[in-house]
Amino acid sequence: MKNELFALIIVLLIFIAFPASLFAYQAWRTNTADARVIALTANAPNNGGWSPDTIRVRAGERIRLRISSPDVIHGFEIPALGIRADEILPGHVEEIEFTAARAGRYPFACTRWCSADHWRMRGVIEVIDPANPNPPLPTFASPLYQRLGIDIDAPHPAPNAPALRPSATRGALLNLAIADDARVNSPSAVFAKLRGDPALKSYSDAQLWDALAFAWQRAAGNDAIARGQKLFARDCAACHGESGKGNGPAGRNLPGLAAMDPSLKRGPADFTDASQMLSASDVLLQGKIVRGGMGTGMPEWRTLYTDQEMWEVISYIRSFVLDYGLNEQK
Ligand code: HEC
Ligand SMILES: [Cu+2]
């Protein structure tokens, strides 16, 4: 009796459940066949970059991107739509389906370090509403530097750069509580405030810098710094250099530089230069990253980075001057 029941279940499975699932699969296939298929080729920028680099679709249209890369491994991301493919291997086709419901311009970018010019690998998906064919520009809240009225292009030499590289490890031992809004004030300004505090008179300049380094690291948090380090290696090191000195391979012959007034010419910023970096607030640095260098070759990241990623990469950039004891540091 038990065996018969078992046999019956098997028979039911073979004759009903299996065909039913096949049928469901077929139905699903025809359904996805409604999607418009768009082939997108990923080549490193000096092999042509994204092709096409502008994709126009209709709002509400189902799209199936078939992404292939003839040369090396690339990644793909449309940050504003939350769509990504981490790995596009040569010889494979990566398929992504999505519907862009709202009209607008959605930048996409490569997310893999594919070459020194990797940061150049950007494109845009234009989602058109047929009733209103000019895609609206995305709106962003005005960045903090604008609201605070900071001129991010003005030179910012530090009046009080330390003789020794400030060390968070030494600073932690001092047990000094530093309460300040590190985002808005530069390290130089915070240092000046500490130096002017009669209660801290017994501390040397070097000690106050150490305490400040510790406060900055703690405010950022080690997790954020570690994530910032990854972003930096992927997107910024090409120009600013692995060690932050501004000597990356892609920064040498930036197209914008040649055309610039020689007196204004500057290459990628040297993040190890305490005499410049300590007088820049996080908000100022964020301003540059959000807006880009207006002709200097510094790209804008506003359309690709979340606010959080922006703060993470800034937190990591700080470690080139403030010694956070990160072991990878040279
Ligand atoms: C294509 C080369 C290039 C890439 C890639 C690049 N930068 Fe830059 N960056 C520059 C140049 C050139 C400048 C100098 C322009 C200026 O100061 O206006 C600069 C300046 C800056 C500044 C201003 C520093 C200051 O003291 O004012 C910051 C901050 C910065 N970059 C951050 C980044 C971050 C973060 C990334 C990666 C997400 C990045 N950069 C990627 C070329 C690059
Ligand atoms: Cu790339």
Cβ atoms of 59 and 129 within 8 Å: the answer is yes
Helix (H, G, I), strand (E, B) or coil at 43: coil
Atom from ligand 1 closest to the CA of residue 314: 35
Task: Choose among 289, 275, 278, 294: nearest CA to 240.
Answer: 289
pLDDT at 30: 43
Pinpoint the residues of the chain covered by CATH 1.10.760.10.
144-318
Q: What is the mean pLDDT of each run of 10 residues along the chain (330 residues)?
A: 63 57 51 82 93 94 96 93 92 94 90 86 91 72 84 88 94 85 84 94 96 93 96 93 91 64 72 95 92 81 90 96 77
H or E segment at 309?
helix 307-318
295 sits in the region (left: phi over 0; alpha: psi -120 to 50; else beta) called left
**Polymer length in residues for the chain:** 330
Domain 36-128, what architecture? Sandwich (2.60)
What is the reported pTM? 0.80
Q: Where in the chain is the domain with CATH 2.60.40.420?
A: 36-128
User: Which listed ligand is nearest to 256 at the C-alpha?
Assistant: 1
- Is the CB of residue 47 less than 8 Å from the CB of residue 110? no
Output the ligand 1 site: residues, CB below 6 A.
119, 235-236, 238-240, 250-251, 254, 266-269, 276, 280, 285, 288-289, 293, 296-299, 301, 313
* Beta-bridge mates of residue 50: 42
CATH 1.10.760.10 fits 144-318, yes or no: yes
